[in-house]
Amino acid sequence: MYLAGICFITDQNICRLPLKEMTRIVLDYGIRWIQYRDKKNTRRLIYENAIEMKKITSEYDATLIINDHTDIALASESDGVHLGQDDLPLKEVRKISGQNFIIGISTHSLEQALDAQNMGADYIGFGPIFHTNTKDAGKPKGIKALKEIKKMVNIPVIAIGGINSENLSSVLNTGVDGIAVSSGILKGDIKTNIKYFLDSIGRV
């Protein structure tokens, strides 16, 4: 499965397009990893949306990760789940999901990152690297901390938080395996933004 490059995180607060339309647009423009993040809808609707998104991502051989909800990820036959620090413990998710199910987890310190690696995470998200309004994840960690994480952690490291065209090169220069982006893609022209991110990653 695709665990590098760009992970697009859905955000219907930024983009008012219907979720299915948003999904197909970013896939058409080259995204191959989507995290469905939904903090406002009912779990039933999140499940129904996940089913529809999985149908679409399968057409593009793209990876679909569900944020927070392990049961919905499994029931919708999505490729994996992305956990927060307060969600079901990673080791318990692995017990019920099996080895082929992708498990990622948000981390905000070296200790959390190493714990995630030791518990069998397939990748970690680390951040926020810069200030972001997308999610409340505390004080920005900065490039120096990201370099340290990449140096100490052996599983894929995905940088997240406030990443845009102006600071992208500094993030990529740390050697991270990928970036997670929401507003950096959705604000402005989506096609132009995705092309810039993909071209920049291709040059590293």
Which CATH number goes with the domain that contains 21?
Answer: 3.20.20.70
Q: How far is CA 15 from CA 21, 23, 35, 48, 112, in A?
A: 11, 11, 15, 20, 31
For the chain, what is the domain count? 1
Taking 70 as the threshold, does the pLDDT of residue 115 lie above it?
Answer: yes
Q: What is the pTM of this model?
A: 0.95
| Mean pLDDT, the chain, integer | 95
- What percent of the chain stands above pLDDT 70? 97
Range of the domain at 191: 5-203
DSSP bridge pairs for 34:
8, 64
- Cα gap 60→172, rounded to integer Å: 26
Taking 70 as the threshold, does the pLDDT of residue 144 lie above it?
Answer: yes
- In this prediction, residue 131 carries a pLDDT of 92
* Long-range contacts of 68-71, Cβ-Cβ distance < 8 Å, separation of 24 or more: 68/37, 69/43, 70/96, 70/97
Taking 70 as the threshold, does the pLDDT of residue 137 lie above it?
Answer: no
Listed in sequence order, the DSSP H helices in 98-162 are: 110-118, 142-152
Give, as one character, the DSSP assignment of residue 19.
Answer: H
Model confidence over 165-191: pLDDT tens digits? 999 999 999 999 999 999 999 999 999
Q: What backbone torsions phi and psi does residue 81 show, to the nearest 5 degrees?
A: -135, 150
Contact (CB, 8 A) for 146 and 128: no
Contact (CB, 8 A) for 146 and 159: yes
